[in-house]
Amino acid sequence: MMRLGFRRSYLGLKEWSVENRLRRFSTESARLADKVVLITGGASGVGKATATEFIRNGAKVIIADIQQKLGAKTAMELGPNATFVHCNVTQESDISSAVDFAVLKHGHLDVMYNNAGISGTLVSGIADLDLEEFDQVMKVNVRSVIAGIKHAARVMVPRQTGCILCTASVAGILGSTLYSSYGVSKFAVVGIVKSVAAELSKYGIRVNCISPPTLPTPLALSAFLQFYPGLDVGRLTEIINESGEIKGVKFGVDDIAKAALYLASDDGKYVSGHNLVVDGSFTTSKSFPFPALDEVMK
């Protein structure tokens, strides 16, 4: 009887201990507890992965996207801490309204993630560039970032705190010969971040961007279909996944989401004006097209 009582007592203590540890782990892992986040382009790809990661870490996320059905579906999938708001980022009024919605619903805005973007169309060279199409890429990829920063600052400055993130790209470091408009737009994003970070730091607001490589997102897949017309989406995904730099490491949108989590959390509290390049060393070097020694000595 004593043995049975001891066993029950031990098991109860063990269960309490495990439960307590899990609760403690949950608290410690909630790096964005009660933070309010607005993510443009949050219905899919990097935006959705980031929304998922942020909610897992205690945040309340507003998903702002032009895709009404997909955005609403994503918010429903992510649960009660996700809310969808329709947003065409080429319209400043939509961005302003999305920011106001976040404040009205949750009382404030802690993190603004300007993530929405388009790739533009494939061009063979600068002489073939369609300037109307260029203007559209700049509206989505650059003007919307400026508008997002502007309206985030509008509500963050009075609180003297906040974090603004933007999605840049390795194409904004090395350039892009096939998608000229996209490459130019991402160079601009990096420049915007560095310029604005200096101004907003005096209000306690950090501004950073993340430069990922090509990922199998809807954005990249639609761009690749221009390059490989008629190719199966599954095969396109394989091609992108096989292009990684670090041998044996599988890389995806979740890795960009974790980079965003670092920058948005207190772990990155003194990081501002930074372009966090998450590319496995892709942009660190370039192979020189010189002939091999045996070819020169022929």
Poorest-pLDDT segment among 82-86, 191-195, 237-241, 287-291: 287-291
What pLDDT is attached to residue 238? Answer: 74
What pLDDT is attached to residue 230? Answer: 81
What pLDDT is attached to residue 140? Answer: 98
What pLDDT is attached to residue 181? Answer: 92
What pLDDT is attached to residue 6? Answer: 43
Q: What is the mean pLDDT of residues 146-169?
A: 98
**Rounded CA separation 193/111 (Å):** 15
Poorest-pLDDT segment among 64-68, 108-112, 128-132, 258-262: 128-132
Reported confidence tier of residue 293, pLDDT bands at 50, 70, 90: low
Percentage of the chain beyond pLDDT 90 is 63
3-state SS of 170-191? HHHCCCCCCCHHHHHHHHHHHH
Q: What is the mean pLDDT of residues 100-105?
A: 98
| pLDDT tens digits, one per residue of 166-217 | 999 998 998 877 788 999 999 999 999 999 999 999 999 999 999 998 776 7
Q: What is the mean pLDDT of residues 228-257?
A: 80
Mean pLDDT across the chain, nearest whole number?
Answer: 87
Residue 166 backbone dihedrals phi, psi, to 5 degrees: -140, 145
Active site residue 270: no
What pLDDT is attached to residue 290? Answer: 63
**Rounded CA separation 44/62 (Å):** 13
Handedness of CA 71, 190, 164, 258 (dihedral sign): positive
Q: Which residue of the set 10, 179, 182, 262 is catalytic?
A: 182
**Rounded CA separation 258/38 (Å):** 16
CB atoms within 10 A of CB 58: 16
